[in-house]
Amino acid sequence: MKFSLIAPTFGRPEEVTEFLESLLSQNYSQFEVILGDGTPGDTLRPQLERFKNNSTYTFKVVYEEYLPVSDARNRAAEIAQGEYYIFLDSDCIIPAEYLNKVETYLQKEDLDAFGGPDMAHKDFTVLQKAISYSMTSLFTTGGIRGQKKHVGPYHPRGFNMGIKKTAFEAVSGYSEFRCGEDIELSIRLIKAGFKVGLIPEAYVYHKRRTSLKKFFKQVFRFGAARINIWKRHPEEMRAVHLFPFVFSLGLVLSLLGVLTGAYVFTVASLLVVLYAVLIFVDSLLRNKSLSVGVYSVITSFTMLLGYGWGFFRNWWAYSFERKKGGLKL
């Protein structure tokens, strides 16, 4: 068997069902799907029984109550039969040609590990499309999550990440990290000398969070996790990772400029406005939607503030609160 598709799950039956249904449309045969499920009370598995007898793929579930995300992936990998493990998130919809595109690329380029982009489906809500823009744009994240043009080295992410079984076992799989575990694994793979690359055509539709509050909490954890990664791999801290915190400081200065009229703060205010216009125009051109353009400014600022605050808060926890493992994520 060539591919084992693995996803951690924790409740959200509608989301998981949509994910599994999208895989029924794959124009590819001989693959399996394994869920590492930690849903309390084992309430998710009974709702997925109908997928066990489908004719497209072999379906398995590894269950343990409150199974952490890294353990869920590792436990699923232990029973996987594929030559490649492909780790996906259960809030993704997988296009019908996904595995064909992966197979075609790997025939040309023998990669030990790879990733692909995520994008918004045409049927996503305005908010989901705006969040997708904020998480993937060169102007917000530096394109580091799977764009052809990106800042710094490319690290595959767990929402769309393939690894040869031999490479996965060589680096002992996912670490104990509860957030940022995918990036930390990518770093270890690269350090171990494995060939890692981006497959631009192997994209997935990533639904992400359904409210600004949930999105803020998610990116707060991402920002905090970057400090954990820095503690383990100090050489991996780059300017793009500092940008959300710097932006947050600039936004505070711009607000002071509005209140005080001081020249230096007024300059900061103008820079923030120019940045907002840049995001709006870029999103408008990409999505061809005025509403998505407007929302993209809101979601981008939410993302940068959430990530920046998480980054600072965990740095403070390490540096001044003497928390050995940082914030509990």
For residue 5, what are the contacts with CB-CB under 8 A and spacing of at least 6? 23, 31, 32, 33, 34, 57, 86, 88
- Short-list 302, 310, 329, CA closest to 131: 302
Distance CA 274, CA 224 (A): 28
Give the domain extent around 313: 215-319
- Whether residue 220 is contained in a domain is answered as yes
Q: Are residues 156 and 89 in the same domain?
A: yes
Please answer whether residues 85 and 77 qualify as being in contact, where contact means their C-beta atoms are separated by less than 8 angstroms. yes
Q: Are residues 119 and 94 in the same domain?
A: yes
**What does residue 37 show for φ and ψ, rounded to 5 degrees?**
-105, 130
- Whether residue 304 is contained in a domain is answered as yes
- Whether residue 34 is contained in a domain is answered as yes
pLDDT digits (tens, 9 = 90+) for 148-167: 555 567 899 999 999 999 99
Q: Are residues 185 and 265 in the same domain?
A: no
Q: Are residues 86 and 197 in the same domain?
A: yes
Q: How many residues would you count in the chain?
A: 329
Q: Are residues 27 and 88 in the same domain?
A: yes
The structure tokens listed for 167 are 């490479």
Instruction: List beta partners, residue 164.
Output: 84
Q: Are residues 197 and 222 in the same domain?
A: no
* 3-class secondary-structure state, position 140: coil
Q: Are residues 40 and 185 in the same domain?
A: yes
Supply the pLDDT for residue 257: 67
Q: Which ranges of the chain have pLDDT less than 50?
A: none
Distance CA 283, CA 127 (A): 13
Supply the pLDDT for residue 148: 58
Distance CA 307, CA 298 (A): 14
Residue 93: its H or E element: strand 92-93
Q: Provide the domain count of the chain.
A: 2
Q: Are residues 203 and 220 in the same domain?
A: no
Distance CA 79, CA 88 (A): 17
Radius of gyration over alpha carbons of the chain, in Å?
Answer: 20
Please answer whether residues 42 and 63 qualify as being in contact, where contact means their C-beta atoms are separated by less than 8 angstroms. yes
Q: What is the CATH number of the domain that holds 104?
A: 3.90.550.10
Residue 4: its H or E element: strand 3-9
- Whether residue 39 is contained in a domain is answered as yes
Supply the pLDDT for residue 234: 93
Q: Are residues 119 and 264 in the same domain?
A: no
Supply the pLDDT for residue 78: 97
